[in-house]
Structure 1
Amino acid sequence: MLEKAKIIVQQTGEIIPVMYNPTELSLNKSVVLQGEGSNIQFQRVNNDDLVVSLFFDSFETKTDVRRFTDRIAALTKPTVGTGVRKEPPTVVFAWSGALFSGVVLHLEQKFTLFLSSGIPVRAELTVTFKSVLTEQEDLESRGYFNCRRLWTVAENDRLYLIAAQTLGDPALWRLIADANQIYNPLDFPTATDIGKTLVIIDIHSESYNPPVEV
């Protein structure tokens, strides 16, 4: 049996099936860089908007096609938020698995066939989805899980100063000491430490488990 594409509303679990599967999909990513020439640094990866063309036809049953298309049109309206902040529902476009997560940014509806009464029975929809990331996905898009940070030891370095500069918290110095097998942190750096390269543990990594104090 041919699997149908569907739109899943994350907040409610509502499933909106498409009537006919799209004939093609284009999933693109854009890399954001900073700098020029030989000094180029990676910033993040952005998911480009997903644009999907959908076709609906209720001519055989002589019923209003808007009973199908209105469910998608409703995704342009805010449904969550508090106070002055209003947010559209976050949805997943799925077809043999989740393909894209985001919100409906733009909806174009074209009704192309009508009954004698004026009721529309055929529609072409062009839906533009804008990507929305979870906190984990946002960290991944910024490369937190792909690159290790390195630090070259200088004479005046102290572990708490390195932790403050690289991890944002001087209290995390012990993580650096443990990761680099520094057994006498109070004596760091010794003459043999100068010029060594330290690996700075990635506290955002999925594999990182913070120590439990007892």
Structure 2
Amino acid sequence: MATAPGKNLARAALLIMEPPAQVGAKPGGTIKRVKFQFNPNRLSLTKSTEWRRKPTRMASESALPEFVGSGPRSLSLEVFLDATATHDGSVEAKVEELMLACVPTPKSLAAKKPASPWVRLEWGTAKTTSFDGVLSSFSVDYSLFDVDGKPLRATCSLSIDEAGADTPGQNPTSGSDNARRTHRVVAGDSLPQLAWHEYGDAGQWRVIAEANDIDDPMVLVPGTELLVPALEDAPGGA
């Protein structure tokens, strides 16, 4: 499909984040943002619902189903890597970056609470495929090798299972490719608290304050919707 005039190609990436500090909290700070060399050519999204029926002996027809609940989303994709034209001549470094999402984070190990990172696929303004989750499976298929055995091409297969209650997505009014979340203020919220949940660092509250023109970080009006930008959008950010 041709790109519309005046539009830049959005590059997909996998955001790898610290797991939540506690049950029900949001992911912590960003560990790595792995930019894809090529955008995926296919995404597979599934979501299940659970229904329950109570058999009725005397009924001529089956009983009406009763809705029990909705299951998490699951996203499957393939990431193609090609090092035939790169200086290092190997795809292993990029494979290792993706595999960071499969092992406990150093921060969780230091706290003696081993936990793998949370991840999120970021691709332009896509919302249905951009959610907080965990990498449930990861495999690599190497398809081309150099004379010394270095892998030159690989296809990585990833499956992401939804883990968060909220559905993050590109904020359409932010004007930024990296702004991915909004937060609705509830009683007791403060910017340092929100910065801790979002970035794993309460001292980053100024990033949120500047994005929303807030003067007092301790006074937030319940019901207000705040834009929570990525740290790389902030002055001096990653």
- When normalised by structure 1's length, the TM-score is 0.57
Residue 31 of structure 1 pairs with residue 49 of structure 2: yes
Residue aligning to 2:67? 42
Residue of structure 1 in register with 2:121 after alignment? 93
- Cα deviation, residue 113, structure 1: 1.0
Instruction: Return the offset for 1:56.
Output: 0.3
Deviations 1:78-111 (A, max 9, x none): 123654x532100111111452321111111011
Are residues 1:112 and 2:143 paired?
yes
Which of 7, 21, 24 in structure 1 is aligned with 2:14?
A: 7
Q: Is 1:103–2:134 an aligned residue pair? A: yes
Q: Does 1:54 pair with 2:79?
A: yes
Query: How many Å separate the matches in 2 of 1:78 and 1:39?
Result: 45
> Post-superposition shift, 1:32?
1.3
C-alpha displacement of 1:120: 0.9
Quick one: distance in 2 between partners of 1:26 and 1:64?
A: 28
Q: Which amino acid aligns with 1:131?
A: E
Task: Measure the CA separation in 2 of the matches of 1:86 and 1:25.
Answer: 30
Q: CA RMSD in A?
A: 2.2
In the alignment, the residues of structure 1 paired with residue 17 and residue 64 of structure 2 have an alpha-carbon distance, to the nearest angstrom, of 41
Partner residue, 1:203? none
User: 2-side partners of 1:46 and 1:94: how far apart?
Assistant: 22
Whole-Å separation in 1 of the counterparts to 2:38 and 2:150: 21
1:123 equivalent to 2:151? Answer no
Q: Percent identity?
A: 21
Structure 1 unaligned residues grouped into runs of 5+: 138-205, 208-214
Note the C-alpha offset of 1:39: 4.7
The answer (yes or no) to whether the contact 2:76–2:158 under 8 Å persists in 1 is yes
- Counterpart CA distance in 2 for 1:64 and 1:70 is 11
Please tell me whether the aligned partners of residues 131 and 164 of structure 2 are also in contact (alpha carbons under 8 angstroms). no
Deviation, 1:47, is 2.6
TM-score normalised according to structure 2 size: 0.52
Matches of 2:76 and 2:39, distance apart in 1: 14
Cross-structure match for 1:65:
91
**Per the alignment, in what secondary structure is the counterpart of residue 27 of structure 1?**
strand
